Amino acid sequence: MNAVVFVDLMGTFVFAISGALAAANKRFDFMGVCIIAFVTALGGGTLRDVLIGAKPVGWMENKWYLITVLIGVLITFVFYKRLQHLRKTFFLFDAVGLGIFSIAGLEKALSYGIEPTYALLCAMITATMGGMIRDVLCNEIPLIFRKEIYATAGLIGASFYLLLNYLGLPIEFNFAFTILVVIVVRVFAVKWNIGLPKIQVD
C-alpha cells in the first residue's frame, strides 16, 4: 500500500463516520446510513477521478475503501452515543480529514499530469464535495455554503503542501505541516466566526 492510498484511507474512515453520524441524526435506517457514509467518504474522490480521467475510479481498484466505509458505519452504530459526546473531538478529526483529502486529491491529480493550479482545485473537490452531497441528500444547505471557512481551509492547506514540495522539504514534514495549517485555519474560523464575504440582501 503506497503512502497516497494510506492517506486516502485515513480520510475515508474519518469522513465515513462523519456521514454516518449525520444520517443517524436524520433517523435513516442501516442502508441509508451506509449510503450517506459512502458518498461523504468517497463522493469527492469519485468526482475528482471522473474529472481527471482516472479509470476506474479509485475505490473500484481497492477493496479497502469500501471496507473502511463499512467499518466506519459499524463503529457509528455501536458507539453512537459516545461519538455524540465527542462532537468537539470530531471537529478536530473532520479538520484532519479535510487536510488528508486535500493532500490525497492534490497528489493524485499531479500524478495524472494535471497542472498545479487545477490540481489545487482537485484537492478542494476531493475534500469537500462528499460533504456537499451528504448535506443535499440529508436535506440540509451544504456546510461549505453557509458557515465558517471550510473549502478555503483545504485549498490553503493544499497550497502550502504544494509549495513545500517544490522547496524539496521531506514529505513527512510537508504532510504534518499541511494538516496543522488546515486545523489552525478551521479553529480560527470557528472560534472567531470568520467567513468569506456575503452579498448583503437586506
Which residue segment(s) compose the domain that 178 sits in? Answer: 3-191
- The verdict on residue 197 lying in a domain is no
d(CA 150, CA 15): 14
Residue-wise DSSP of 76-117: HHHSHHHHHTTHHHHHHHHHHHHHHHHHHHHHHHHHTT--HH
- The verdict on residue 84 lying in a domain is yes
- The verdict on residue 200 lying in a domain is no
Does residue 103 contact residue 158 with C-beta atoms inside 8 Å?
yes
Torsion of CA 171, 176, 178, 184, to 10 degrees: -170
Contacts of 124 (CB under 8 A, 6+ apart): 102, 105, 151, 154, 155, 158
d(CA 180, CA 10): 16
Q: Which three cell numbers stand for residue 142?
A: 451544504
Residue of 102, 103, 78, 95 whose CA lies nearest to 18: 95
The string of pLDDT tens digits covering residues 99-142 is 889 998 999 999 999 999 999 999 999 999 998 999 999 998 88
d(CA 89, CA 79): 14
Task: Count up the domains in the chain and report the number.
Answer: 1
- The verdict on residue 137 lying in a domain is yes
Distances (CA, A) of 51 to 41, 48, 125, 137, 158: 17, 5, 10, 22, 18
What pLDDT is recorded for position 186? 87
- pLDDT-wise least confident of 10-19, 44-53, 191-200: 191-200
Does residue 105 contact residue 45 with C-beta atoms inside 8 Å?
yes
The answer to whether the pTM exceeds 0.95 is no
The string of pLDDT tens digits covering residues 57-94 is 989 988 999 999 999 999 999 988 888 776 666 677 77
Does residue 150 contact residue 102 with C-beta atoms inside 8 Å?
no
For range 152-160, the mean pLDDT = 93
- The verdict on residue 198 lying in a domain is no
Q: What is the DSSP letter of 199?
A: -
